[in-house]
Amino acid sequence: MIGQAPAPAPLPPIPPLGPDPNLVFERVSESVMMVLLLIGFTIVAIKVFGPLARAWARKLEGRVGDPELRAEVDHLRDQLGEVDGLRTRVQELEERVEFAERLLSQKRDQDLLQRGGGL
């Protein structure tokens, strides 16, 4: 009988030197995507909220962006002041007209009484 020796056990696989390239690529690509998303979000936020923030700052400072618009607003304020003065005058004229109507109606009533009350 020929003695057979057991077959030698297979050698364990040799671990690769350094990190797994597939794992490194996945982590790098995730990091790059996060950075790109952050940059994209920042750009969109600046484009959207930038003009709003500038307009709000101008409003807080009390400035209007367009000088023509400022002139028109000043003109409208002047006209509004004139309208207030005219409103006061119209109220005074209404009171005078009512007073004159009352005087005329009293005079007519007195004339009617003096003539005997008939129409």
Helices vs strands, H then E, count in the chain:
2, 0
Residue 28 lies in a domain: yes
Q: What is the pLDDT of residues 5-49, one digit of tens each?
A: 677 777 777 766 666 666 666 777 888 889 999 999 999 988 888
Q: Looking at the domain assignment, is residue 6 inside a domain? A: no
Q: Are both 83 and 115 inside the same structural domain?
A: yes
Domain that holds residue 42: 21-63
Q: Are residues 47 and 75 in the same domain?
A: no
Question: Does the pTM of the predicted model rise above 0.85?
Answer: no
Q: Are 70 and 64 in contact (CB under 8 A)?
A: yes
Please tell me the least confidently modeled range out of 44-48, 59-63, 91-95. Answer: 59-63
Spatial CB neighbours of 119, under 8 Å, sequence gap ≥ 6: 112
Question: pLDDT band at residue 107, thresholds of 50, 70 and 90?
Answer: confident
